[in-house]
Chain A
Amino acid sequence: MEIHAYEKLWLALALVLIVGFIGTITYGAAGAGIDMIDDKGGTVDPATLDQHPKFGDPGIERNGENSYDVYVVARQFVFEPGTTEPLRVPAGSTVTFHVTAADVIHGFEVVGTNANTMAIPGQVAEFTVEFGEPGEYGMLCNEYCGSGHHVMEGKIVVMEQEEFDSWYDQQQAQGEAEN
């Protein structure tokens, strides 16, 4: 088959571009350690979410020095926590999110960052985020989830460590009192 010389050159350059793209992405995943959403979060029964030890009463839990787990339930048209109560995290912490959906498919996006995942009934999305300085972030649902989709939003408040600690201790005390 006759291929024109310029066409051969173009073909070679196209292949270099493609292999280059795959190379940078592989480096991002393996070298720089950019984590993907995958199946490590496991699954959960959406019908009995209310009785789940974590998603039954979603929120933040300390699991080590400066390290936390946050459980978030997305449902039409709120994030729990996030919408009625802001999601509070301490500055300079490492937070692992566990996000699931109670009814239909939702999206979970921290506006202006790459913290972004789908929330699918039955599945748990797990990803880890480093929070820096105190401040506020918006969060929104970025997958159409019904007629009130556009009101589904929330807030993340990054607090000073001491401030967060006193809030957290108060929450824990309240929780114990209720039990």
Chain B
Amino acid sequence: MATASGGGGEFVDKFPDEAAIIKASFLIAFVSLGIGAFFGLVQALHRTNVLRVIDSADYYTMLTGHGVLLAIVFTIFFLCGVFHWAVARSLDRPAESALFSWAWVGLMTTGAVLATIAILGGFVPNLGMSADVLFTFYAPLQAHPIFYIGLAMFIVGTWLSGADWFLSYRAWRKDHPDERIPLQTFMVLTTMIMWYISTLGVAVSVVFFLIPWSLGLIESVNPLLTRTLFWYFGHPIVYFWLMPAYLLWYTVLPKLAGGRLFSDPLARVVFLLFLLLSTPVGIHHQYLDPGIAEGFKFIAMTNTMFLLLPSLLTAFTVVASVEHGARQRGGEGYLRWLGALPWRDPAFTGMALAGAMFAAGGFSGMINAGMNINYLIHNTLWVPGHFHLTVGTAVALTMMAGSYWLVPQVTGTKLYSRPIGLLQVIMWFVGMVFMSNAMHRAGLAGIPRRTAEPQYQNFEFLTPIGSIFELRVQIALGGTLLFLSVVLFLFNILLTSLGEESDRPVDSYLPEPLSGPEGSPRILDNLAMWTGIAAVLVVLAYTLPLAGIIQNGGGLFGGGLPVPATVSAGFDLVMTTVTSAFNTLWGVVA
């Protein structure tokens, strides 16, 4: 797996500059987690009518904050920390320039702060600044320009972070011309290539359309076009959240279980499948959109179904690796080995529970992906029920559990309390069981997502089993448990970072996989080729739908307005920048 690990001192001693970057990223991630989780608590109590401290109109300001702070700021800052750790660790070398690393941390932080200010401005009506547009910011709903500008800066920051890791890889490759790419670095690089391809959509939408439009430079936008560009990015971002969790499941969880990864080559295959299939599926979020032909929806559906494959393969490999660990620890029998696992370790238990819940989330996702059955649950509470299992548990709980093992490596201090950590991960699991099952069932009763009120004037919601009242109680109870779990987590991490330095804060050694990369074809490591195939698939899936939307839906700017000269000049500038950045990246990869 890695060239070297654990042998020569702790991460923080070996890579002090990298540890500082990782600590800064984690700090911003955890502050966002705290604020976002608090908003979540207020929403869960408000929309179930249990406790109302805000106006229903302010609910949407909070919901925007909840979505952006948790799904963008928390997840992405945390994964930047994990990736920075994984690259330095597995290449066994520091980043090329600490200054460059601080540059992307600084740019992402500035962007996140600007977007957050715009969102929180919604609570102060006299300010004239708001961004009550939710996580999806569908035009023609309009936010203050600094929301879009902050978002653009944040995305450019993530591009630079990826460049940082590619530069490390290039320098490593010079010294190791014939070696296989270490697995963790391979995972980081493939994930970042997927991210470069997919963020092009949102960058075009924000830079060419939404920023000029919010500044009044152009009169209107084509709502279906900006929405389609959002989802071009909006589904791959799901895998951008998930890949750091997979990285931890593949490379850390087996070790925590007492064993080692089952198969290195299959882990590579899985990450390549995500690179290829993550982007040409975004239209499955638009099954109910007019203006997109059924054939394009069908293509997106087929690709989506094949995207189940890497996750099903992961289920096998991760369970097999954990079982191997249990047997190393003396576990026996068909299922009795489960008892031999280290259930008192919050890092292990948290990740294992997150994985179990991801299986449930995967099944509800198959319903979402089913082009026709989707009509029953589209935009109902079922959908947030689903993604609180995936990003809200598989990702968030893995990140919190992983922190119990990772944070001590970058602070050099021992975890403050294992029992509190264990209580915290179990509380998250139980809270999510309540909240998510109730949301799924409420969705089947037709209760919509993204709404502040529990009931309507003209009709009542009916549920075949249980009652609507019971569903509301479960959502409120689950939301409360989840918030308390975050409080415990932040408290535990804070006290950990304030603790005394230890020579050996955590057992950070990662063993080699059972089957190493030697037996696998070298073509798996040909990143340039896989990038090319991924780009072709995207072109195939998106060219015709986008052309149709622009041609039939009133042109690039909705009203069929001519392109203003300033915008067209900006268009050229950005196109040149993007193309040259892409060429540089290509050069590094090849």
Contacts from A to B (Cβ < 8 Å): 1-4, 6-7, 10-11, 14-15, 17-18, 21-22, 24-25, 28-29, 34, 36-39, 41-43, 45-47, 99, 103-105, 107, 109, 111-118, 120-126, 136-151, 153-155
Contacts and interface: CB of A to CB of B under 8 A. Distances in A.
Given A7-B263, A22-B301, A43-B554, A146 B452 contact: no
Contacts of A6: 316, 320
A111 B446 contact: yes
Nearest to A15: B309
B262 to A, nearest CB: 8
Contact of B308 (A10, A18, A41): A18
Given A14-B309, A29-B298, A104-B138, A36 B287 contact: yes
B448 A25 contact: no
Given A38-B293, A143-B450, A147-B60, 13 more contacts: A4-B263, A11-B313, A21-B305, A22-B301, A25-B301, A28-B371, A39-B292, A104-B138, A105-B138, A118-B286, A121-B140, A122-B223, A143-B379
A25 B308 CA distance: 15
Nearest to B369: A21
A45 B220 CA distance: 12
B31 interface: no
Contact of B558 (A115, A122, A137, A150): A122
Interface in B365-409: 366, 369-372, 375-376, 378-380
B371 A29 contact: yes
Interface string B304-330: 011011001100110010000000000
21 contacts: A1-B265, A3-B263, A7-B320, A10-B312, A18-B306, A21-B370, A25-B301, A25-B371, A29-B298, A42-B552, A43-B552, A103-B140, A104-B140, A112-B461, A114-B375, A122-B553, A139-B458, A142-B449, A143-B450, A147-B60, A149-B452
A142 B453 contact: no
A120 B132 contact: no
B450 A149 contact: yes
B566 interface: no
Contacts of A4: 262-263, 320
Contacts of A146: 60, 132, 141
A43 B302 CA distance: 27
Interface stretch (B32-40, B99-107, B470-478, B514-522): B514-522
Contacts of B60: 144, 146-147, 149
A120 B289 contact: yes
A105 B290 contact: no
A27 to B, nearest CB: 10
A114 to B, nearest CB: 4
B415 to A, nearest CB: 35
B459 interface: yes
A145 B380 CA distance: 15
A125 B292 CA distance: 10
Given A109-B446, A112-B445, A116-B375, A43 B291 contact: yes
Nearest to B459: A138
Given A1-B265, A3-B266, A112-B462, A120 B291 contact: yes
B456 interface: yes
A144 B446 CA distance: 15
Contacts of A150: 56, 59, 451-453
B372 A28 contact: yes
Nearest to A154: B458
Contact of B379 (A21, A29, A104, A107): A107
Nearest to B383: A142
A112 B446 CA distance: 5
Nearest to A101: B223
A19 to B, nearest CB: 8
B297 A38 contact: yes
A109 B376 CA distance: 9
Contact of B224 (A107, A114, A120, A126): A120
Contact of B378 (A46, A142, A147, A148): A142
Interface string B444-488: 011011111100111101100000000000000000000000000
Nearest to B61: A147
A2 to B, nearest CB: 5
Interface string B549-566: 000111000110000000
A117 B376 CA distance: 10
Nearest to A117: B288
B378 A111 contact: no
Contacts of A123: 224, 289-291, 553
A126 B290 contact: yes
B548 interface: yes
